[in-house]
Structure 1
Amino acid sequence: MHPDVEQLTRIVPPPADRSPRAWPEVEARLGAALPEDFKDLVDTYGGGVFDETIRILEPDCPDRDYDLLAMKEERAEVLARLWEIGPEWEHHPMGSVRFVLSVLTGEVRSEILYDLPAEEHSFDSNEEVLGD
């Protein structure tokens, strides 16, 4: 397990019923390699939301809005526009899991995620959020 994911599990317990993804297949469908920390995060937690704020997309989520593969092109367009307008963009030079961990613990402060860090941490899986 990636060290950042391992550290995250100590402050936010993951769901008990997670299963690893077929990452080579997912990456082939996505057309890009994914970082190891992100793959470990999804294998450990699945898709869902940390502290009711940070959404983790997962491949093959039943809801298209939370499906990593379905949102690929839409997110690319949104991110391209964010780079153009500037003020809505924050840059944090770290991997995705380190960012989640750092925001949850208060090591990194975000103007966009201003409600974090929360006093208590939670993770709600897509199954819980979507009512599956």
Structure 2
Amino acid sequence: MHHAVEQLLQLMPATPNGGDALDWDRVDAQFGWRLPSDYRDFVAAFGMGTINETLSIVTPPPSDYPYAHHLLYERTYPPADGLLLWGATDCADDFYWRCEDADPDRWTVAVRTRSNGWHDYPHGMTDFLLQLLSGRIKTPLNADLGIDQPPTFESWREEVQQLRESDDSGSFGY
């Protein structure tokens, strides 16, 4: 397991029903993308979900994912703009990989905020998250990640379950 994922697990424990087991060879064959190894370890430990109810992390679709949109939805490799979105906040902060190297383990993070433009970081995704959530990186986000408290992670499965429970009419159709 990638060292930053191990440290993230200590800082932000995974939920019991978190983590997604993806067939990465199938993802590569189906979508044409080979994704960074630290990200694959993050997905295995946490899966798709939300950090501190603010920062959503997207993944390729797990087999039981009920929606059409996901990390690689309508994205071809190599990306024309050199970017792949892997996360976003509810306040319009977007987190990308700069996919300019043929080796995805060398992709770095770029953050775009609506009010403060682009900011580049010489880290992979999980190293960046570890630095951000531990307060070692200060990025001018529009969202308040609440990093003054221990971070929490909520799996997409928990979010879907909450939607089901809150929908009295049962109209979500899952």
TM-score (norm 1): 0.80
Identify, as 1 or 2, the structure richer in strand: 2
Cα distance in 1 for partners of 2:130, 2:39 equals 12
Larger radius of gyration: 2
| Aligned partner of residue 120 in structure 2, secondary structure | coil
Q: 85, 91, 94: which is aligned to 2:123?
A: 94
- The alignment covers a number of residue pairs equal to 127
For the Cα contact (< 8 Å) 2:20–2:48, is it kept in 1? no
1:75-114 to structure 2, matched below 5 A, reads 87-112=116-141, 114=143
Partner of 2:36: 35
Identify, as 1 or 2, the structure richer in helix: 1
For the Cα contact (< 8 Å) 1:53–1:113, is it kept in 2? no
| Aligned partner of residue 41 in structure 1, secondary structure | helix
AA partner of residue 128 (structure 1): E
Partner of 1:122: 152
Q: Which has the higher contact order (CA 8 A, sep 6+)?
A: 1
For the Cα contact (< 8 Å) 2:11–2:150, is it kept in 1? no
Q: Kindly provide the CA deviation profile for residues 41-79 of structure 1, in whole angstroms up to 9, marking residues without a partner as x.
A: 0011110011122211122132234x1222636xx6895
Identity within the alignment, % = 30
Q: Over the residues paired in the alignment, what is the CA RMSD in angstroms?
A: 2.9
Matched, 1:9 2:9: yes
- 1:19 deviates by 4.4
Partner of 2:66: 62
